[in-house]
Each structure stands twice: as structure tokens, then as C-alpha cells.
Amino acid sequence: MVSGRTLRAPRAHRANSVHPGAWWIWALGLGTAASRTTNPLLLALLIGVAGYVVAARRTEAPWAHSYGAFVKLGLAVLGIRLVFAVVLGSPIPGTHVLVTLPEVPLPDWAQGVRIGGRVSAEGLAFALYDGLKLATLLICVGAANALASPSRLLKSLPGALYEAGVAVVVAMTFAPNLIADVRRLRAARRLRGRPDSGLRGLLQVGLPVLEGALERSVALAAAMDARGYGRTAEVPRGVRRATAVLTLGGLIGVCAGTYGLLAASGAGYGLPVLLGGVAAALGGLWLGGRRSVRTRYRPDVWGVRAWLVAASGIVAAAVMIVSGVRDPGSLQPSVVPLTVPALPLLPAAGVLVGLLPAFVAPVPAPRTDPVPSAAVPVEASS
């Protein structure tokens, strides 16, 4: 008799961790799916998928705690969008008037702009759908920031993009480090019995946060200088010119090919031009990498689990794009006339594929907190 074993993802360690690029592809796939719809049910499903994966596979690293800030930012964006729709009106005509606010008279040169007036259900629904889409995009980006290590992502960039990648990674880590500093300082103030909320608490926390950011930037500059950042190898002039021509031509080809795919009349030449531009850009990046003199210590391996994580995001985006071509009405619910949005099954199934990383990615190591000695029961001696 063969005993069955439960298939479980292994514990995460340095050798089997998912490539950070796979997490970004997964998150960008969910973001692409969110950009293709204004259906609030699908957007809520995307938010739920991203949140579940983050809760299941987030580590205890400082940058991994930035997801909550992105969620709050998304809620703030949604609230601001609704407030603007109420105060400044909406371009969507509506017949279901909910409330009529006092309208502020404006001069003739401000025609087309109003403050106050009628607030319709159609205008609020349009603002809700639009704001929820932007909030979902922010939450997907926050999921990538919480799951992908910025330093490991920088190590995986091609040599030609290393210097630009350093700037991007520093910019990406600004928000997580800032959030970590704010949480640390607020916790310290609470332990000292001082207020950590309100305007006074914000002002007293803001100065140490700025001071810490300045110290961190000075330390980063010193570390980069000590490691020889900016050194380049000598390459022939012809190679430099070929690199510039291939990179610039490749980017132009990518832009022209993308425009051809999006335009109705350019479907014939769009794909070949796009593929040619990508090939030229990759060639330019390969030649440009010869100027880099840095080495990689223990590079990240793109394994099977990374392929599965990236593929789940790509599938979610592809299914949403195909559904938009076949049945655009299900992804863009009507607000004039106002209808109750329905949940289309095919796009919903594609979004649920995005849950795959929660089951195939390695499980992060549990947080080990020291147990106080007083909490350990002591057996009585006989």
C-alpha cells in the first residue's frame, strides 16, 4: 500500500527562491488585466488575488511591509476621485439625481467648470469604476514591491542597464524604507508614552524620517564610491556606435510596432516591426554590456517555479485581452443607462489563475520570536 503525500511548496531559502523578475511579471500581468476593465467585480477579484498572494508569500524583510501603504494609497485615490465627482461634477449625463448641492457662481471665463450642482448616480458610478481601476493598478504595483527583492532584481539586470537600474531600484526602495522608518519611529513614540498620531505627532515624526533618509543616502553614496560604481571598460569606437544605433533603432522599432498593433490599419506590419525592434534592442544591450566590468555573485536562477509565477500573470492578462475583444460589454459595464455589473466567467477564471503563486512559490520561513521564560511552564518536583 502506497501512502499518499500532500503536495506542498518547500520552505524558501536562497537556492529555491522565486526570481524577482517573475514577481514583477506576475504583478504587471494583473495590472494589465486591471487596465482592460472597469467592471468592479473583476477589479475587486484582482485586488483579492493580489492580497491573498502577498499574505501567503510575503517575507519579513523591511521592504515587504509596504503593501499596506499601497492599499491605503489606492483607497485615498478612490476617495479623492469620488469627492471630485461630487464637488466638481461629472461629464457623464445622468437622470437619477441623488442630491443637489449649492452651486457656486463662476465667471464667464470659467465656462465648462462648475462647483456644486446636481450629483447623479450615473456620475458617481463612473467615478467609482474609474477610481477603482487606478486603485487596483496601485495595489498590483504594491504587491510586486512587497514580494520582489529590489537588490536581487538589480543583480539580474543586463550590464548595459545596470547604472539606470541602480537609479530605478533606489527610487523603488524609497517608499518601503520611508514606511519602515515611520513605523519604527511611531512604535518608539508609543513605547515612550508620546502621541504618534495627529498633526503634532506627524511633525515630530517627520524630522527624524527626513534625517534618516539623508543619512541613508550619504551611506549609499559612500558604498557606491567604495565599490567603484561608474567604472567602465574600454571598448572600440565602432562598438560604441553600433550599440547606440542598435539600441536607438530598436526602441524606435518597438514604438512603431506597438503603434501598428494598436492601430486598426497597421496590423499587417506591426508585429514584424515590433519583433525586429526587440531583436535590435537586445543586440544593443548585449553590446552595451561589454562596457560593464562588474561581476555577479551567486546570480538568481530562473527555475520552474519562476516560470509558473510569471505565466500565471501573463495568462490573466491574455484572458482579459481576449475577453475584451470577444465581449467588451462584460468588461465595461454601462453607466448610461445605469445597470448592475455582472461577473463574466471567462475573465474571472483568468484572474483566478493569478492565485497560482500562492501555491507553487516557496513558503517563507516563519517568524521566530523568542519565548519569554515566564511563559514556559515549570514542572513541579515530586
- What pLDDT, in 10s, does the model give residues 297-356? 566 778 888 899 999 999 999 999 888 888 888 888 888 888 888 899 999 999 999 999
pLDDT in tens, 164-208: 666 666 666 666 677 777 778 888 888 888 777 767 777 777 778
Domain ends where: 252, 268, 291? 291
User: What 8-state DSSP symbol labels residue 109?
Assistant: G
Return mean pLDDT, the chain: 78
Distance CA 18, CA 309 (A): 8
Distance CA 261, CA 165 (A): 28
Residue 98: how many other CB atoms lie within 10 Å:
13
Query: In the beta sheet, which residues pair with residue 117?
Result: 101
Say yes or no to pLDDT of 381 above 70.
no
Query: In the beta sheet, which residues pair with residue 119?
Result: 99
Residue type, 360: V
Whether residues 106 and 208 share a domain: the answer is: yes
Residue 278 structural domain: 233-291
In a domain, 89, yes or no: yes
Whether residues 267 and 118 share a domain: the answer is: no
Whether residues 123 and 139 share a domain: the answer is: yes
> Percent of the chain at pLDDT above 70?
74
pLDDT in tens, 47-87: 999 999 999 888 887 777 888 889 999 999 999 999 998 88
All three cell numbers of 200, joined, read 503634532
For the entire predicted model, the pTM comes to 0.70
HSE-up of residue 9 (Cα within 13 Å, Cβ side): 23
In a domain, 9, yes or no: no
How sure is the predictor about 137, in pLDDT bands with cuts at 50, 70 and 90?
very high
Whether residues 250 and 202 share a domain: the answer is: no
In a domain, 199, yes or no: yes
Across 240-266, average pLDDT: 74
All three cell numbers of 98, joined, read 441623488
Smallest CA-to-CA distance from 205 within 229, 172, 183 is with: 183
For residues 174 and 4, the model is more confident at 174
Whether residues 278 and 345 share a domain: the answer is: no
Whether residues 54 and 199 share a domain: the answer is: yes
For residues 14 and 91, the model is more confident at 91
User: What 8-state DSSP symbol labels residue 105?
Assistant: P
In a domain, 139, yes or no: yes
Whether residues 244 and 98 share a domain: the answer is: no
Residue 366 confidence (pLDDT): 67
Whether residues 242 and 350 share a domain: the answer is: no
All three cell numbers of 104, joined, read 457656486
Whether residues 263 and 160 share a domain: the answer is: no
Instruction: Please tell me the total number of residues recorded for the chain in this structure.
Output: 382
Whether residues 216 and 242 share a domain: the answer is: no
How sure is the predictor about 380, in pLDDT bands with cuts at 50, 70 and 90?
very low
HSE-up of residue 130 (Cα within 13 Å, Cβ side): 16
Across 249-266, average pLDDT: 72
User: What 8-state DSSP symbol labels residue 235?
Assistant: -
Mark 189-218 as b/e (b = at least 16 C-beta within 10 Å): beeeeeebeeeebeeebeeebeebeeebee
In a domain, 377, yes or no: no
In a domain, 381, yes or no: no
In a domain, 240, yes or no: yes
Count of domains forming the chain: 2
Whether residues 195 and 258 share a domain: the answer is: no
Residue 293 confidence (pLDDT): 58
How sure is the predictor about 4, in pLDDT bands with cuts at 50, 70 and 90?
very low
Domain ends where: 241, 260, 291? 291
Residue 61 confidence (pLDDT): 77
Going 73 to 54 to 165 to 277, the CA torsion angle's sign is negative
In a domain, 12, yes or no: no
pLDDT in tens, 91-117: 777 788 888 888 888 777 767 677 878
Residue type, 342: A
Say yes or no to pLDDT of 262 above 80.
no
- On whether the CB atoms of residues 27 and 333 are closer than 8 A, the answer is no
Smallest CA-to-CA distance from 319 within 329, 307, 331, 337 is with: 331
Whether residues 138 and 284 share a domain: the answer is: no
All three cell numbers of 331, joined, read 468588461
